[in-house]
Amino acid sequence: MDITLSSSHIGGTIFIPASKSQTIRALLIATFAEGESLLVNPLDSQDTRSCLDACKAFGAEIIHEDNALRVIGKGLPKKPVVIDCGNSGTTLYLATAMASASDSPITFTGDEQLCRRPVGNLLNSLVDLGVKVESTTRQTPPFTVQGPIIGGTTSIECPTSQYLSALMLGLPLAKNDTTVLVPLLNERPYVSMTKAYLDDQDIEYWEYDDMAKFVFRGNQKYRAFTRIINGDYSSASFFFCAAAITGDRLEIKGLDPNDPQGDKEILSILSAMGCSVSYNGVSTFVQGPPRGTLVSGQFDLNTMPDALPILAVAACFAKGTTILSNVPQARIKETDRISCMRSVLDALGADVEELPDGLVIHGTGALDGGVCSGYGDHRIIMASAIASLGCRTSVTIKGIDAAGVTFPTFFKILENIKHYVM
């Protein structure tokens, strides 16, 4: 489906849906625990539904309640199963390591986009630790893993933090202790998120040299739990930037400023660009400066790669050159987001240069508008939609169905704040 959007002022209050990353972590831990867990305020999206299907295939019983999921976990899978992760890379990586503790062969696959996602580093580390892997290339899905994880020592480069988070969730289930050396690590806040889940489970592990080395005690188990899932800063970032580029004010509810999510740092970037940001204990408020007066700058996005598309849009509405750098992992998400965002912004009239690890945007304070592709990538689609708020002419986005991967209500919320009476 395509959509055409026009420039608009915005305003009002937004309730941000729950974090995808936290929902998937909670679902998988509840599934591999034994007993009944309660997840309050989980995200309902295409990615989390893929994870739900995976959890059911692993053997968990899942009961849908009012704004909650009751998960009855059965521990490690006890029979062979095929897990279709859909488009969910988070499910693919995290579930692979956890399922590798099972004696049963577990096959992982997904949609065409997911089957291009790199898995070689993770699978190689699992092989180091005693897991059997069957794969044509051992670089992309589909593949089959069969445990148990014996333990030992492995070294893994993590251009995406999901490799390390996967091992962190899987290795407590190993037969013996495991040492993991991490010579490269991007997206550190997501590892902090995983650590918080392990800590809540009283899992024993030791971290050394600022995440360069981890040691996990083997032969541990997950236990049932109750958890409220916090709002998603990645989803909120689109509306933070909507206020920034329109010069308007939004109130955003459902976010916890103490949450380890890395994308909350976008508020610091927007402050540096000239926005007024505040928090009153319940809501986050973002007030943009007058249209076309955002301040350009140079920003390191290594800890927050998902923010690249929307910050690239915001940079177009600043005057001067903005550099978004140190985010090479943006090329191995659902799409090559560096290349795709350059193409989108070119189509809308921006002056953009592509770097190996980011983008250079020569902002003029405005965009023309036009027709662009959504590239089947939810974050590119949503970033393009927010860009329309400040364009001189309408923006047509070709193919918007993938927005439901993490934020099914995005276009409804966007329409509501556009119709807000100032």
Any idea how long the chain is? 422
How is 35-63 classified by DSSP, letter by letter?
Answer: EEEEEES---SHHHHHHHHHHHHHT-EEE
DSSP lists the bridge partners of residue 153 as 179
Residue pLDDT, tens place only, 127-181: 999 999 999 888 999 999 999 999 999 999 999 999 999 999 999 999 999 999 9
d(CA 365, CA 245): 9
Low-confidence ranges of the chain (pLDDT < 50): 421-422
**Residues 244 and 314: beta-carbon distance below 8 Å:** yes
Among candidate residues 192, 17, 167, 181, the one with its CA nearest the CA of residue 101: 167
Q: So what's the pLDDT on residue 139?
A: 94
Using DSSP's 3-state secondary structure scheme, residue 177 falls into: coil
Q: So what's the pLDDT on residue 160?
A: 96
Among candidate residues 305, 309, 60, the one with its CA nearest the CA of residue 162: 305
Q: So what's the pLDDT on residue 249?
A: 96
CA Rg value for the chain:
21
Among candidate residues 151, 189, 166, 241, the one with its CA nearest the CA of residue 19: 189
Q: So what's the pLDDT on residue 420?
A: 53
Catalytic residue among 306, 336, 346, 401: 306
Domains in the chain, ordered, with CATH?
3-17+231-418 (3.65.10.10), 20-217 (3.65.10.10)
In sequence order, which residues have a C-beta less than 8 Å from that of residue 194 and are 6 or more positions away? 25, 164, 165, 168, 169
Strands 143-146 and 226-228: unpaired
The CA-atom distances, in angstroms, between 347 and each of 13, 45, 179, 223, 274 are 31, 29, 48, 51, 26
Q: So what's the pLDDT on residue 222?
A: 98
Which pTM was predicted?
Answer: 0.92
Both structure tokens of 91:
């499910």
Could you confirm whether 306 is annotated as catalytic?
Answer: yes
d(CA 33, CA 100): 15
